[in-house]
Structure formats: structure tokens, C-alpha cells
Amino acid sequence: MKYLPLALDLAEQDVLVVGAGDVAQRKISWLLKAGAAVSVVAPDASMQLNDHRIRIHNRPYTESDLEQRHLVVVATNNAELNVKIGQRARALGYLVNVVDLPAASNFIFPAIVERGDFTIAISSAGNAPVLTRYWRRTIDALVPARLQSWADLLGRYRDTVKSKLGTIDSRRRFWESVIDSDIAEEAYRDSNKAKQRLDKALDAFAFDHTHQQGAVYLIGAGPGDPELMTFKAVRLLQRAEVILYDRLVAPEIVNMGRRDAEYIYVGKRAKDHTLPQHKINELMLKLALDGKIVARLKGGDPFIFGRGAEELEHIIDANIPFEIVPGITAASGCASYAGIPLTHRDHAHSVRFVAGHLKDGYADLAWSSFADSRQTLVFYMGLMGLNTICRELIKVGRDESTPVALVERGTTPNQQVYVGTLTTICDVLSKHNVKAPTLIIIGSVVSLHSALAWRGISITE
Ligand code: SAH
């Protein structure tokens, strides 16, 4: 992040604007909205802005204009002069914006969505103005026109809530129960009526103790691409006060949680369990019994090789409310993003998801049940056992030329797809430094990847 958006209090502060063209005038109107005392210096300052807080100096800029300023905006039509004033103002320690020249500025104006005191700032660090404008328009359309009256009412109501609800958690849960409710709609129409309804809602909330109860959301986060989260997953994640996540969950997804949530890494890797499973179960139970809303984020789907059921056992025994949110499992995600259909009328009429991790160097599986050539096999956690998997499949009658795909870090920007056959894929594996998480897809559907690789999927043979 190149620029940190901050919110400045400019009330009564002296601001110098050099230049009075259209761009300068746009900046001036924002400065006035923020209550600044604006001095405009320009030889041709025929200002349309008629405001008693503007002092217009109809003359060229001189260095003494920079005395006693709080903030400086430079917007003449002389680029050289702009840079010169910018440098001088910076040397004097001012906040200065030279319009359209971020390199000469030490702050830039973000695009702003404004509803009175409620504001949203958008910036691309000056890199993509059209993109910024697009998002400003899009967000603007989403924010209710009269949001200000709701925001004001909430501000006035804070002390009342504080006096009735003793803990931060209960206050936050109260606010969340009303923030997007019909009371907000009421506030857009009539803030007195909305206030009466808030009173009622607060009384009911203070009386009802169920809101102090904890809950557990077991959330499938999908295979990596954040856009593969479901709406429900995002919604519940954003309600969570504590978020337990592991290595398979992409950082962008973990970051979708609330800023003020507590994040606990319980990461798991083959051979390296940061927290043993029973400790994770105990931790989750303890947090929920303490009244916390806990999200347990799992890669893919929690009920597919995710130990979701085990993690819930204690929660169910303790009568704690819970939700299970299914996720897109690695097989679906990786197959789609690699252009491999898991079933196909001409190739495979069924698909099996198999846990391919090795026990004592040998995957203890019913190999003969994998003999059917019209069945696609998807091995999770199978990378270390790839050799065994290929050997055993050939033994039970799978053709040596059966295509195999390894999808590494599927659905992420780092996705790699390696293809070979039951006899060649181990060589491909040893030639390339293929890392976990990798999914193995075996069956003639893999041969369709080239026909379906419509998006320039990178494939290594
Ligand atoms: N619950 C998860 C699976 C957990 S088991 C799900 O439904 O997807 C972990 C295994 O899943 C990894 O060893 C790997 O084989 C596979 N996997 C998970 N995410 C993956 C990804 N983005 N790319 C490739 N394989 C992945």
C-alpha cells in the first residue's frame, strides 16, 4: 500500500490553493465541506465558488503565500511552477498535493463517497483513475442516500447502549442485530420513530440472554480462489469473533474476517501438526463455552477429508449452536480450473474422492475397487504416495497409458498443472519441484484438458 488513507480534521484550518481552474475548484469544494478556511491565489481567480470562507487573492503566487498554512494544494496550469511550489511547501513541512502529480505531492485526494460525516475513500495511488471512478460509482450506488441520518442516530445512541449493556461483546452484538435491520430504513424516513424502535430493541436485547451464547461455524473456504467462497461462508466469517484457520486457507480469505476478530493459526501440515487435533477440538469448545462466536475455516469442504465431523462432536455434545457451511472441494475447484471435467458421457460415469496419504509407506486402500476404467479417481493428500498409487492401479488392471494430472495450488494464481500417464507421471514429479497442496486426477477425462484449456491454463507434460 503506497498511500494510507487518513481522515483529516480541517475545521478552521488555513489551506492554500494555488490556481483556480476546474480542478482547483473541485478540490476547494471538498476543502470547504470539511470546514477549512481556504485562501486561493491566482491571477485570474474568477471564482464561481461564493463562500465567505474563501479568501481570493487575484495575483500571481509569491513565496510568502506559503506562510502559516496547514495544507497546500497546487493546481495552476504551469507544470513547472506547480513542481516548484510543491517542493517548497514540502521543504516547509506542509501537507501538499500537486494535482495530477503524485510524485511531487505527499498526499493525494482519494475519490470520495460522501453521506455527510459518513465517508468512504477510494484510491489507486493515482495509478488508475478510471478504475477508481468505476468503484466510486459502484459503491456510491450501494450506499443509501440518507445513510447520514442513521449514522447520526447511532452516534447519539452510543451512550444509551453503553449504560444498558455491560460488555463490549454484547454491545457489538446489539449493534450488529440492528445495523442492517428495518430500523435503518425507518431512520432514512423518520429518525424520531427510529429512535423509539431502537429503545424497544435495546430493552428486548438486554432482557434476552441468549445473545451471550457462543456459537461455532464450520466454514468451507474452498480451494484457494477467494471468489469461490459462498455468500453464507463470507457472511458467517464476518460475524465471527474468533477465527481458527489453517495452512490450506488462503490469506485473502482469512482477511475477510473482521479486523477486530481474534485470529488463531492452528495450521496443519503432513508430519507437522502445529496443534494436535484434540487440542483444536478443545480450544474450539472452550471459546464457544466462553460465549465467543467462533469460525473454524477449513480449506475446501469441511466434510471432505476435513475432519469436520470430529471437530463438531464436542460442540454438539455441549449443546452449542453451530452451522456447517459447505465449500467447493479441491476436486471440483482444481478440475474446473485445469479444464478437466470429472465426469463425461464418453469417458467417466463416476468419480471417486480418495484419501491418498500413506500409512507406513503404503496406502491401505481397496485397490481392486479402482479397476473400472470409466471411473475418474481423485486422490487428495497423495503426492508422497504417487508411486504406490500408480503401481497399484496398474496391478489391478488400469491401462498404463491412463492419463494423470497433478494440480498444484489449484485455483490460485500459482496454479500449475502437470500431466503424464500412470507410467510417466512419477518422472514428471521428480523433474519438477511439485509441492503441496497438490491434487491427483486419474482417468481418461484428463485427456480433455487441452480441448478445454480455454483460458491459457499452463500445463506441463
Ligand atoms: N477439505 C479439503 C481437503 C483437505 S485434505 C477439500 O475439500 O478440498 C488436503 C488435500 O486437499 C491436499 O493434500 C491436496 O491434495 C488437496 N487440496 C486442497 N486444496 C488444494 C489446492 N488448492 N490445490 C490442489 N490440491 C488441493
Closest CA to 379 of 436, 452, 457, 325: 436
The Å distance, Cα 242 to ligand 1 centre, comes to 24
Reply yes or no on whether 268 is catalytic. Answer: yes
In the chain the first and final C-alpha atoms are separated, in Å, by: 38
Across the chain, mean pLDDT equals: 92
The Å distance, Cα 298 to ligand 1 centre, comes to 10
Rounded Cα distance between 339 and 329, Å, is: 16
The Å distance, Cα 458 to ligand 1 centre, comes to 19
- Interval 166-183: pLDDT, tens: 988 889 999 999 998 999
- Yes or no: say if 42 and 18 are a contact pair by the CB < 8 Å rule: yes
Residues 368-382: what's their mean pLDDT?
A: 96
pLDDT above 90 covers what percent of the chain? Answer: 82
Give residue 289's pLDDT.
94
Reply yes or no on whether 246 is catalytic. Answer: yes
Given pLDDT bands bounded at 50, 70 and 90, which one contains residue 450?
A: confident
Q: Whose CA is nearest to atom 2 of ligand 1?
A: 300
Q: What are phi and psi of 317, to 5 degrees?
A: -60, -35
By DSSP bridging, strand 293-298 and strand 215-220 are: parallel
CB atoms within 10 A of CB 92: 13
Q: Where in the chain is the domain with CATH 3.40.50.720?
A: 14-109
Ligand 1 atom nearest residue 298's Cα: 1
The Å distance, Cα 340 to ligand 1 centre, comes to 16
Q: Where in the chain is the domain with CATH 3.30.950.10?
A: 331-460
Give residue 53's pLDDT.
84
The Å distance, Cα 306 to ligand 1 centre, comes to 9
Give the list of residues 6+ apart from residue 107 with CB closer than 8 angstroms, or none: 3, 95, 96, 97
Cell of 365: 486402500
Residues 75-86: what's their mean pLDDT?
A: 95
Closest CA to 423 of 390, 449, 447: 390
Residues 349-368: what's their mean pLDDT?
A: 83
- Interval 195-227: pLDDT, tens: 999 999 999 999 887 777 899 999 999 999 999
Q: Is the CATH number of domain 215-328 3.40.1010.10? A: yes
Q: Where in the chain is the domain with CATH 1.10.8?
A: 147-211
- Interval 277-301: pLDDT, tens: 888 999 999 999 999 999 999 999 9
Which mutation among 298, 380, 408, 409 tests ligand 1's pocket best, with the greatest number of atoms within 8 A of CB? 380
Pick the CATH number of 147-211 from 1.10.3470, 1.10.8, 4.10.410, 2.60.40: 1.10.8
Ligand 1 atom nearest residue 379's Cα: 15
Top pLDDT among 209 and 234 is at: 234
Rounded Cα distance between 158 and 168, Å, is: 12
Q: Whose CA is nearest to atom 5 of ligand 1?
A: 305
Closest CA to 298 of 337, 338, 266, 260: 266
Rounded Cα distance between 143 and 408, Å, is: 40
Residue with cell 501440515: 269
Task: Please state which architecture CATH assigns to domain 331-460.
Answer: 2-Layer Sandwich (3.30)
The single residue of 65, 225, 246, 301 carrying the catalytic annotation is 246
By DSSP bridging, strand 118-122 and strand 111-115 are: antiparallel
The single residue of 84, 164, 268, 372 carrying the catalytic annotation is 268
Cell of 374: 470409466
Which mutation among 340, 404, 439 tests ligand 1's pocket best, with the greatest number of atoms within 8 A of CB? 439
Q: Whose CA is nearest to atom 9 of ligand 1?
A: 381
305-341 burial code (b ≥16 CB/10 A, e <16): bbebeebbebbeeeebebebbbbbbbbbbbbbbbbbb
Give residue 162's pLDDT.
96
Pocket-forming residues, ligand 1, beta carbon under 6 Å: 223-224, 248, 298-301, 304-306, 329-330, 334, 380-381, 407, 409-411, 436-439
Rounded Cα distance between 235 and 256, Å, is: 10
100 exposure class (CB count in 10 Å sphere: 0-12, 13-18, 19+)? middle
Residues 19-30: what's their mean pLDDT?
A: 93
Give residue 456's pLDDT.
59
The Å distance, Cα 305 to ligand 1 centre, comes to 8
Residues 421-431: what's their mean pLDDT?
A: 95
The amino acid at residue 335 is: A
pLDDT above 60: residue 270: no
Which mutation among 269, 305, 325 tests ligand 1's pocket best, with the greatest number of atoms within 8 A of CB? 305
Top pLDDT among 239 and 275 is at: 239
- Interval 86-126: pLDDT, tens: 999 999 999 999 998 988 999 999 999 999 999 999 999 98
Residues 238-251: what's their mean pLDDT?
A: 92
Q: Where in the chain is the domain with CATH 3.40.1010.10?
A: 215-328
Given pLDDT bands bounded at 50, 70 and 90, which one contains residue 415?
A: very high
The secondary structure element, H or E, covering residue 308 is helix 308-317
Residue with cell 454484547: 170
pTM: 0.79
- Interval 310-341: pLDDT, tens: 889 999 999 999 999 999 999 999 999 999 99
Give residue 233's pLDDT.
96
Residues 343-362: what's their mean pLDDT?
A: 86
The secondary structure element, H or E, covering residue 150 is helix 147-164
CATH fold of the domain at 14-109: Rossmann fold (3.40.50)
Give residue 169's pLDDT.
86
Continuous H helices in 2-111: 22-33, 79-91
